[in-house]
Amino acid sequence: MTTTLLRTADELHARVRRGRRAVVMTMGALHEGHATLIRTARGIAGPDGEVVVTVFVNPLQFGQGEDLDRYPRTLEADLKVAEQAGADVVFAPSVEEVYPGGEPQVRISAGPMGERLEGASRPGHFDGMLTVVAKLLHLTRPDTALYGQKDAQQLALIRRMVRDLNFGVEIVGVPTVREEDGLALSSRNRYLSPQERRTALALSQALFAGLDRHVALEALRARAREVPATRARAEALSALGESRAAADAHAVAEATPGNPAAVRAAARLVLDDAARFDPPLRLDYLALVDPSDFSEIGDDFTGEAVLAVAARVGATRLIDNIPLTFGAAS
């Protein structure tokens, strides 16, 4: 398969559409995470449809002092990755092509969800991101658009925009692709020195520590449901001198409340440790949130949640997250 490079909206519009169109939006510097999105898009579009990959470093979503100028731009290599993964078209417009009148005066507002976590650390980021996503959806007119779970808040906001503003496009989320040691693939990983990369591993390790604690507590919780009179049982076992069994039954009885706090604490321990590494990890946030609005979940929360982390290592800011389900088994 040969991938066609298009640079202008006119070229894109002149292209005769065929079958189902699936779009993957990127800022370039493509890696295996992007390739996975493109392969998934190929599967959705099928052999008779088409896959369009956009490559555009959007100035609108970068704040002052962020890495807009040094963000890697590697179009030649990107074309090869896109082609190998099955893209029909790479649409790589210039800034002037996307914003012909300069910065747009009318923009999408991300609302309250866009002010939390990433939005609090990067004011205006999500307005700029949604504005370009809206433009790219209008330019590429896909049936389906795919985004990575790695940028969970971005994915949630795009879903919200599409629903709230009736964009009429299917949004598909793709699970995070990781290195073998757990580090989430990210274009910004290429900024890291080997020492910084070692420290950066703490992000995913913290999430997995939170996940391990979560799995253990959910198992206890499920057992608590099976044994209704657990506290009474613990006391009875204790009275009989069965101290280990009593301690176990006690843990089951106490497992129900406080799971989110315990998950946060387990992750936090790993991050606190990494704050003492050389170079140190500087935590921006660790949060356990409801993915429908990215607000912190309470101790009695049940359903899908996201454990999210953002931190700086040297001059590089990285994010990662992991989905967790509370009270799954009933």
Site residues for ligand ATP per CB under 6 A: 26-27, 33-34, 36-37, 147-148, 150-151, 174, 176-177, 184-188
Annotated binding-site residue? 33: yes
Site map 219..238 versus ligand BAL, x via CB under 6 A: --------------------
- Label each residue of 286-298 as H, E or C: EEEEECCCCEECC
| 185 has binding-site annotation | yes
Is 25 marked as a binding-site residue? no
User: Mutual orientation of helices 194-226 and 259-274 as an angle, nearest 10°?
Assistant: 160
Check: CB of residue 51 under 8 Å from CB of residue 24.
Answer: yes
Q: How many CA within 13 A on the CB side of residue 50?
A: 18
- Tell me, yes or no, if 34 is annotated catalytic: yes
Q: Check whether 113 is labelled as a binding-site residue.
A: no
Nearer to ligand ATP, 150 or 213 (CB): 150
166: left (phi over 0), alpha (psi -120 to 50) or beta: left
Residue 50 in contact with ligand BAL, rule: CB under 6 A: no
154 annotated binding-site participant:
yes
**Ligand-binding site membership of 133 (annotated):** no
Beta carbons of 164 and 133 less than 8 angstroms apart: no
| 179 to 24, 182, 201, 255, 261: CA distances (angstroms) | 21, 5, 10, 33, 28
Interface pick for ligand PAF out of 38, 87, 133, 177 (rule CB under 6 A): 133
CA distances from 129 to 57, 88, 134 (A): 10, 24, 9
Q: How far is the CB of 224 from ligand BAL (least distance, A)?
A: 40
In whole angstroms, how close is the CB of 63 to ligand BAL at the nearest point?
Answer: 10
151 is in an annotated binding site: yes
| Residues of this chain, 122-151, that bind ligand BAL according to CB under 6 A | 151
Binding-site partner at residue 132 among ligand PAF, ligand ATP, ligand BAL, none, CB < 5 to 8 Å by type: ligand PAF
What is the distance between the alpha carbons of residues 47 and 32, in angstroms, rounded to a whole number?
22
CA 86, distance to chain mean position in Å, is 23
Q: Which of 36, 40, 61, 204 binds ligand BAL (CB under 6 A)?
A: 61
Which residues make Cβ contacts (< 8 Å) with residue 141, sequence separation at least 6? Answer: 21
- Residues 75-114: x/- map of binding to ligand PAF (CB under 6 A)? ----------------------------------------
Residue 174 DSSP SS3: strand
Q: Which of 23, 25, 30, 252 binds ligand PAF (CB under 6 A)?
A: 25
Q: Which residue's CB is nearer to ligand ATP, number 176 or number 230?
A: 176
Residue 133 binds which entry of ligand PAF, ligand BAL, ligand ATP, none, CB below 5-8 Å type-dependent: ligand PAF
Give dist(CA 220, CA 151) in Å, integer. Answer: 31
Which residues, at least 6 apart from 321, have a Cβ–Cβ distance to it below 8 Å? Answer: 149, 150, 152, 176, 207, 306, 307, 308, 309
CB of 4 to ligand BAL, least distance (A): 25
133 or 246, CB closer to ligand PAF?
Answer: 133
Instruction: Return the number of other C-beta atoms located less than 10 Å from residue 18's C-beta.
Output: 11
Alpha-carbon distances, residue 195 vs 200, 269, 309 (angstroms): 9, 21, 20
Residues annotated as catalytic (active site), given as ranges: 34
Residues that bind ligand PAF (CB under 6 A): 25-27, 58, 61, 129, 132-133, 151, 154
Residues that bind ligand BAL (CB under 6 A): 61, 151, 154
Q: Which residues are known binding-site members for beta-alanine?
A: 61
